Amino acid sequence: MSLIKSVRGFSPRFGRNCYLADNCTVIGDVVTGDDCSIWFNVVIRGDVNSIRIGNRVNVQDNSVMHCTFEKTTIVVGNNVSIGHNVIVHGAHIGDNVLVGMGAVLMDDVVVEPDAIIAAGAVVLEKTRVESGTIYGGVPARRIKEVDRQQIAEMVKRHSGNYLGYAGWYRE
């Protein structure tokens, strides 16, 4: 069963039709939108500051979301896919974003809408990832521009796929 825990007077709140894997952990000041999925071994720790997650967001296996005490928050837009083994630490992610497997987003990173973070990228603090781009590498840098419509369609497809996968576990 998922571990949903209150801390410092804050309790996680979930939108409609959300899927929480049996062993995910969600703590404190966390609010999700509708149609989200939080997968196996994910830890979302809203113990030191707030974490806000939009609609149709999937946070895939072994990912961690956390903030710096009284300094940073996490805000995730709509239609976002956060791949396996991702660390999001005090970053803001816009709508229609794909964060590839094993990526790290540090404090005060801003990922504008319609962008891609490549697998394994380490996005250093205070980096701004522009709309319509792919960032990758260690440290992450702009790799190339991509058509924003193509990104939005790809991310929307991933979001839809994860809604379907979550449905398998409800049967």
Q: Where are the domains of the chain?
A: 3-170
Q: Which residues of 132-145 are buried (b: 16+ CB within 10 A; e: fewer)?
A: bbbbbeeebeeeee
CATH of region 3-170: 2.160.10.10
pLDDT in tens, the chain (171 residues): 899 999 999 999 999 999 999 999 999 999 999 999 999 999 999 999 999 999 999 999 999 999 999 899 999 999 999 999 999 999 999 999 999 999 999 999 999 999 999 999 999 999 999 999 999 999 999 999 998 888 888 888 888 899 999 999 987
Rounded CA-CA distance 31/41 in Å is 18
Task: Single out the residue of 143, 148, 111, 152 nearest to residue 129, CA to CA.
Answer: 111
Amino acid identity, residue 111?
V
- Grouping H, G, I as helix, E, B as strand and the rest as coil, residue 158 is helix
